[in-house]
Amino acid sequence: MFSRILIANRGEIACRVIRTAQKMGISTIAVYSEADAHALHVAMADEAVYIGPSPVTDSYLRADHIIAAALQTGAEAIHPGYGFLSENPGFVDAVVKAGLVFIGPSADSIRAMGLKDAAKRLMEKAGVPVVPGYHGEAQELVVLASKAREIGYPVLIKARAGGGGKGMRKVDDPDDFAEALGSARREAKSAFGDDRVLVEKYIAKPRHIEVQVFGDNHGNVVHLYERDCSLQRRHQKVIEEAPAPGITAEVRAAMTSAAVKAAQAINYSGAGTIEFIVDATEGLKPDRFWFMEMNTRLQVEHPVTEMITGLDLVEWQLRVAAGEKLPLSQKQIPLNGHAMEARLYAEDPSKSFLPAIGTLHHLAFPAAVMDGLVRIETGVRTGDTISPYYDPMIAKLVVHGNDRAAALAAMESALLETEIAGTTTNARFLAALIRDDGFATGDVDTGLIDRNLAALTVPAAVDAGARELAILFASDLLRKPSLVDPWTAMRGYSHNSNLAYPVVLEDSGGTVRYGVTVLGDDRYAISGPGIATELRVRHEPSSWHVTGKGINFRAKAITLPHGIAIISKGAAATFTVADPFLLAEAAGHSGDRLAAPMPGLVKSVRVAAGDTVKKGQILLVLEAMKMEHSITAPHDGKIAEIVTESMQVKENTALVRFEEAALPDGR
């Protein structure tokens, strides 16, 4: 067994590998970019090596820097995690050439499955069913459009390299094919360095079911059952579970047999996943699933399999890479209960899941973690920053129950008990998804989220008492006496009458002014737009308890640099406290412009200065966090200025400025 390994990754997967290595007595070496200098995986490892600036192209994709770090620190092997260089056969070749062990499959196996078109041709020869489509080499628009017509709309354009839903577009109408192809190619080129695509028949009610396989260097291949990953948005997985809802022994046998056959066809060694697209229009049938692709690495959702089998897949990876045989035979691998994983992201579901950056001023996970009832996979802590350079995942919440109903209940509880302040998250969206009737009954397919998106992303109403608690916190009147200076302690006091202490909050419509009066005995009066109430506020062991007319509310209050976060039942309502000295200046700034919602790269500009545009028209495409975001016109108008293509912009950078509309008299 190895004594020292290097993890060529970051975030939660790096932390995950480090934990198993430590359990096995193996020393770990982390690598980090400038943005990750103080990251959790760096703190957890026995040693850490700086490999470059924050952009992945200058750090985590620099194979030469990573191999040099391994040699310099005396590592014997490199674990790639997932993403980055994990499925790059050139990296595997370089690792082996340097005299190191790659903890994963051979370069030949990765090459065999790395390009979707070639992989599907290989699977056809091996007798594994593949979805109907065009997997040829010709990439001209006229050829691909012709093949799409032959296959029959709707079709799916897919990048032949990589995965994660990037470079993938569904096309319903032939008139939209060229536009979708261009967008898919740009995204594929950016994500994988390869803009070639394939075209497949779009399955009407598809389910995404994958099988975990494992091979060793002694010719043994086993499966560790299936996972259902059908709950997706933008072709990216949101919630994964095992076993697959509604699967029968007959379907499982057919699917796992095909998966093992696929792995054997390429002499596979290590952890891998065979992904199948399943036609669920008539339930799960043994002849209605097709090979989609193989991920030649550990999957993000591997903890789901670990929960139902009780096995440590990272430990298996290490043992196989060290030359050992698989720890168990197929008949020895157990299947117990039901497991589920939810991906908690820093993103705003109400804004098309736009990634959100920010500092995690407060991060707390369910108490059940301490009892082993909930598993948390994370690479961040309180005080860490969600960076624009990397995937905005905060954590994976993983639960296990005796059956699916128990797992659903455990997941809902875990989401409600997770507390995050400092950035917008998808926690409330995930909780709504868990409660969705279709998902609860197991009637799942990859279109479920899109069909129910409006209901799943309804902006949450602010709980009665949340705004009032924020106002009181903003006044400093609820701070503990030991933290209050003598002058603050006198606020609200007057010799003859109580004074109203002013609080100004920022709202979408501007600023709102409130007054807070101390009444004594934990009682306060708040006045302002929509509020005229008396409250009693008491501090309990883990929260504040606000009571008053129509209010009975418990929550935590977290002070942010420019506001207050009120956290209750897994949801955070953030209130921005206005600086009264800047109000007049802020009021004087206005303009007809569009600003970048987050840092990114301008990939495509569709209009030019002087053009007249219509409301909803795409003006430019901004790439941020590995995804393309279309910036559209908020109203009809004429473009005065617009950014140029390939420009790197910061958050709030002006992207577009419109000409001012002429007044009725022509001025």
Residues taking part in catalysis: 297
Q: Cβ(197)–Cβ(160) under 8 Å?
A: yes
Structure-token pair, residue 443: 């009637």
List strands edge to edge, sheet with 101-102.
47-52, 27-33, 4-7, 77-79, 101-102
| CB-side neighbour CA atoms (13 Å) of 559 | 7
- Residue 566's Cβ-count burial label (10 Å; 0-12, 13-18, 19+) is buried
Residue whose tokens read 């279309």: 630
Task: Using alpha carbons, select from 648, 472, 497, 504 the residue that is nearest to residue 580.
Answer: 504
**φ/ψ of residue 202, rounded to 5:** -85, 125
Question: For residues 117 and 133, what is the distance between their CA atoms, to the nearest angstrom?
Answer: 9
- For residue 501, CA distances in Å to 490, 496, 559 come to 11, 16, 18
* Integer Cα distance of 555 and 419 in angstroms: 11
Q: What does the alpha-carbon distance between residue 2 and residue 27 come to, in Å, rounded to a whole number?
A: 9
Determine the Cα–Cα distance for residues 42 and 23; give it in Å rounded to an integer: 17
Q: φ, ψ for residue 328 (rounded to 5)?
A: -135, 155
Cβ-based burial of 257 (10 A; exposed 0-12, middle 13-18, buried ≥19): middle
Q: CA separation (Å) from 573 to 256, 347, 559?
A: 45, 15, 12
Can you tell me whether residue 350 is helix, strand or coil?
helix
Q: Residue 139 is encoded by which pair of tokens? A: 């990439």
Say how many Å lie between the first and final Cα of the chain, rounded.
Answer: 80
Distances (CA, A) of 85 to 9, 60, 80, 102, 162: 9, 8, 7, 11, 11
CB neighbourhood size of 2 (10 A): 19
Exposure of 367 by Cβ count < 10 A (0-12 exposed, 13-18 middle, 19+ buried)? exposed
Residue 527 forms beta bridges with which residues? Answer: 515, 532
Residue 350 main-chain phi, psi, to 5 deg: -75, -10
CA atoms within a 13 Å half-sphere pointing along the CA-CB vector of 121 = 11
Q: How far apart are CA 373 and CA 366, in angstroms?
A: 9
User: If DSSP codes are grouped into helix, strand and coil, which group holds residue 511?
Assistant: strand
Contact 424/361 with Cβ under 8 angstroms?
Answer: no
Closest residue by Cα to residue 655 from 589, 588, 609 = 609
Cis preceding linkage at 243, omega within 30: yes
Which residues does 617 contact at the CB level (< 8 Å), separation at least 6? Answer: 606, 607, 632, 633
Beta bridge partners of 52: 33
- DSSP secondary structure string for all residues of 534-574: EEEEEE-SSSEEEEETTEEEEEEEEEETTEEEEEETTEEEE
Closest CA to 351 of 463, 426, 422, 418: 426
Residue 335: CB atoms within 10 Å: 14
